[in-house]
C-alpha cells in the first residue's frame, strides 16, 4: 500500500521531472484552474528557463482542452443532479454562501 503522506506532499526537485517539464505542466494546470496569478508566474518562470513561446502556447492550449472537458462534464452532471437520490434541496437563502448578512446586500449566487 502506498504511503499517503508521501502522495499528498509536494517534493520539488526529486529528479522525476525536469524544471522545464514541470513549468509546462504548471502552465496547463493554471489555465485549467482559472488561476491568473499562477499562469503569469509560471509563464514568466518558463521564459526564464528559456522555454520557447510555441511550447508555452501549446501548454496553454492543453490547459484549455482540460478546462473544456471539465466544463462539459460539469454541465452534464449539473443537468442530471436533480435526479440524484436524497433529501430535497432547500431553496437558496439570500446569503447562500453562509454569510447571514452579505455586506453588499447580494448573495454569492448573484
Question: Residue 34: CB partners within 8 Å, gap ≥ 6?
Answer: 67
Q: How many folded domains does the chain comprise?
A: 1
**Inside any domain, residue 43:** yes
For 75-105, write each residue's pLDDT tens digit.
888 888 777 666 655 555 444 444 455 555 5
106 domain-assigned: no
Residue 21 lies in a domain: yes
The 10s digit of each residue's pLDDT in 36-83 is 999 999 999 999 999 999 999 999 999 999 999 888 888 888 888 777
Residue 77 is part of which domain span? 17-82
**Residue 93 counted as domain residue:** no
Q: Are 20 and 51 in contact (CB under 8 A)?
A: yes
Q: Is the pTM of this model over 0.75?
A: no
Domain presence at residue 91: no
Amino acid at each position: 500500500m502506498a504511503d499517503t503522506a508521501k502522495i499528498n506532499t509536494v517534493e520539488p526537485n526529486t529528479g522525476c521531472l525536469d524544471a522545464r517539464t514541470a513549468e509546462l505542466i504548471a502552465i496547463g494546470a493554471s489555465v485549467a484552474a482559472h488561476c491568473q496569478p499562477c499562469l503569469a508566474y509560471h509563464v514568466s518562470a518558463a521564459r526564464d528557463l528559456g522555454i520557447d513561446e510555441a511550447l508555452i502556447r501549446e501548454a496553454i492550449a492543453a490547459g484549455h482542452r482540460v478546462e473544456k472537458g471539465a466544463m462539459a462534464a460539469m454541465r452534464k452532471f449539473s443537468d442530471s443532479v436533480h435526479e440524484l437520490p436524497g433529501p430535497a434541496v432547500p431553496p437558496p437563502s439570500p446569503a447562500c454562501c453562509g454569510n447571514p448578512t452579505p455586506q453588499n446586500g447580494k448573495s454569492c449566487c448573484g
